[in-house]
Amino acid sequence: MPTTEFTESCLAPACFIDSHCHLDAVDGVAEKLAQARAQGIAQFIVPGIEPDQWPQVIGLNSEGVFCALGTHPWYVNNPEQEARSLAAAIVQHSPVAIGEIGLDFYQGRVSRPAKDIQIDSLNRQMALADQHGLPVILHGVKAHNELLQILKKFPRVCGVVHAFSGSLQIAEQYLALGYCLGAGPLVLQSPKLQQVFRQLPMSRIVLETDAPFMANKSAGGDNPLLALREVAEALATARAIPLASFTQACRENTQRLFSRLPAKYLPQ
């Protein structure tokens, strides 16, 4: 399947890409998208979380909105069947990435699928990403060691660890494998995390909101998509660089990673 390489940059002084937002779960999404676009947020990547939800994500594909498809570790049930469904959906719908996939070993009140089932699912979905030359959008909670070991098996696959909240030491292990790290509203609540992102190579940071699940009321009021600008402002300040320079670098990182995104932005 053909892919589109980026050949142009956004000419607006502030033009953002939200690399991870669940628009299918955002109330009043049309109005909130319009508000976000008015603030310079031009493109949005919407990850899938399970096969039954993929049609909603695919249905959002429109000007500036693009889908990724995958089975989230919370929703893994039958890895073999889910991988077959994903293989067919990749061919039919040309997602920009495989995701949201990964491992979540957090033990809380809500039980998660067994570790071996999650690992089986991730291996199958990583293999599909490798086969189709697609990046992956990764979810990793209490499972960094296991996640890193699986990623090492697929050296041709690149991607992003979304909503990264780990230490600099863990970050450096993902960087060594060629992965980017997603900076979202968590950085607004954690000066320590801001310092981690301050020390990362600028070429490895992408911006996200994870809307509506990490809503930050101080940033966007009732519109979680508007938190993206505040995340960018906080990290630009932490790195002591102009917002425009930080935004441009993050945008170019996202363009490079998700090469199926068209080189086109909404008119300003």
Measured distance CA(161)–CA(183) in Å, rounded: 9
**Rounded to an integer, what distance in angstroms lies between the CA atom of residue 250 and that of residue 108?**
34
From residue 40, how far is each of 10, 16, 19, 141, 181 by CA, in Å?
10, 6, 14, 31, 22
Distance CA 204, CA 200 (A): 7
Residue 20, annotated as binding a ligand:
yes
Q: What is the distance between the alpha carbons of residues 259 and 83, in angstroms, rounded to a whole number?
A: 23
C-alpha torsion sign, points 109, 114, 119, 122: negative
Distance CA 250, CA 246 (A): 6
Q: Please give the torsion angle defined by the CA atoms of residues 193, 176, 126 and 122, in that order, rounded to the nearest 10 degrees.
A: -50
Q: Is 104 annotated as a binding residue?
A: no
- Confirm whether residue 210 is marked as ligand binding: yes
Within a 13 Å sphere around the CA of 89, how many CA atoms are in the beta-carbon half? 28
Looking at residue 46, the DSSP 8-state letter turns out to be E
Tell me if 172 is assigned to a ligand binding site: no
Residues in the chain: 268
Q: Is 203 left (phi over 0), alpha (psi -120 to 50) or beta?
A: alpha
Consult the annotation and say whether 132 binds a ligand: no
Helix, coil or strand: residue 128: helix
Q: Report the candidate in 57, 91, 60, 92 with the shortest Cα–Cα distance to residue 71.
A: 57
Which parts are annotated binding residues for a divalent metal cation? 20, 22, 100, 139, 162, 210
Which parts are annotated binding residues? 20, 22, 100, 139, 162, 210
